[in-house]
Amino acid sequence: MRTLSLTLAALLAATVASAAAPDKAALLAHVRESYSIPDVVELSLGDFKASEIPGFDVAEMTISHGKMHQTEQVYLSKDGKHYLLGSSSFRDLGTNADQERLAKMDLKAAPVRGNAKASVAVVQYTDFQCPYCQMGFRLMQDKIMKEYPDNVRWVYKAFPLTTIHPWAEPAAIAAECARQQGQDKFWSLHDALFAAQREITVSNFEEKLKGLVGQAGLKEKPFMACYDGKKTMPAVKKDQAEAEALGVNSTPSFFVNGHPISGGADYASIKEVIEEALKGKHGKL
């Protein structure tokens, strides 16, 4: 009888341990989303064991990319709801990283191309002097918006890299000044700036801009008053601060419903995440 009781107790303990076992796949998926870790980086997680922190278990996570390997400690609360990775802050497994990123974006105040009520937003942080941003512009204009004219809204965000692109910030200010005459005027100057990118230099920017203003059909006097007075600088700075809060450090940077696209202007990656978003994955607008 005593042997039977011990056997039942052991089975019960095993059952409880099994029920409390963390879902490693779900945890790793959340880590990948929360920290924007690209798919080319492999993540693996060891077994959890009691840690030195009361109420938390700990496991070793291995981060691998080619021949490079790094390990971090992952602390998971006993109830399986919160975790701590390395020296970062605590994360809630019940949160959606894409939704959190969307919450940091002001989409209502931004220029939009396409269906403004579309369920999928491709947000592009861009720099008018950046050659790769010109590629991103072409990709969005010539491919994405033609493939998804009703289902995708293309959202512009300014992120001039002032340390390496000296006329990018003046161009961003100019684009916002054009927007004061209508969103269609914004996109006209936006497109014209990218089309003329290779012809523009720091020394000829002002001269080229005046020509592009006429090309975009803008009223020159109010536009120049806005541009010369840098009246739209706050809007540019707001976008820059938003980008930095999201961890953006290069251009172009794309987010599809809050999901970051690794590789910049990569058509296949953007299209893949758009298709996922259309099926209800990632953040909700």
Q: How far is CA 146 from each of CA 20, 138, 141, 164, 197, rounded to the nearest angstrom?
A: 49, 11, 7, 32, 23
d(CA 135, CA 251): 11
Report d(CA 127, CA 250) in Å as an integer: 9
- Asked if pLDDT for residue 159 goes beyond 60, the answer is yes
C-beta separation of 204 from 259 below 8 A: no
Main-chain phi, psi angles of 280, to 5 degrees? 100, 5
Selected residue with higher pLDDT from 74 and 190: 190
With cut-offs at 50, 70 and 90, classify the pLDDT of residue 20: low
Nearest to 80 by CA among 36, 15, 19: 19
- pLDDT value at position 2? 39
pTM over cut 0.85: no
Sign of the C-alpha dihedral computed for residues 270, 272, 275 and 281 taken in this order: negative
- pLDDT one-digit tens code per residue, 84-111: 887 676 778 888 999 999 999 999 999 9
Q: What is the pLDDT of residue 69?
A: 86
Instruction: Using alpha carbons, select from 132, 157, 154 the residue that is nearest to residue 143.
Output: 154
Cα–Cα distance for residue pair 31/85, rounded to 1 Å? 8
Q: Which two tokens stand for residue 121?
A: 């937003």
pLDDT at 8: 33
- Please state the rounded mean pLDDT for residues 70-74: 89
DSSP string, the chain: -HHHHHHHHHHHHHHHHHHH---HHHHHHHHHHHTT--TTSEEEE---EE-SSTTEEEEEEEEEETTEEEEEEEEEETTSSEEEETTS--EETTS-HHHHHHHT---TTS-EEE-TT-SEEEEEEE-TT-HHHHHHHHHIIIIIHHH-TTTEEEEEEE---TTT-TTHHHHHHHHHHHHTT-HHHHHHHHHHHHHTGGG--TTTHHHHHHHHHHHTT--HHHHHHHHHTTTTHHHHHHHHHHHHHTT--SSSEEEETTEEPTTSS-HHHHHHHHHHHHTT-S---
Phi/psi for 43 (5° steps) reads -120, 135
pLDDT tens column, 225-276 = 999 999 999 999 999 999 999 999 999 999 999 999 987 889 999 999 999 9
% of residues, the chain, pLDDT over 90: 71
Two structure tokens written together for 52: 């030195």
Pairing of strands 120-126, 152-158: parallel
C-alpha 180, offset from chain centre = 27
Strands 253-256 and 120-126, sheet pairing:
antiparallel
Rg, Å, the chain Cα set: 25
Q: Which domains does the chain have, with CATH numbers?
A: 2-94 (no CATH), 102-278 (3.40.30.10)
The contacts of residue 198 (CB under 8 Å, 6+ apart) are none
CA neighbours within 13 Å on the CB side: how many for 193?
29
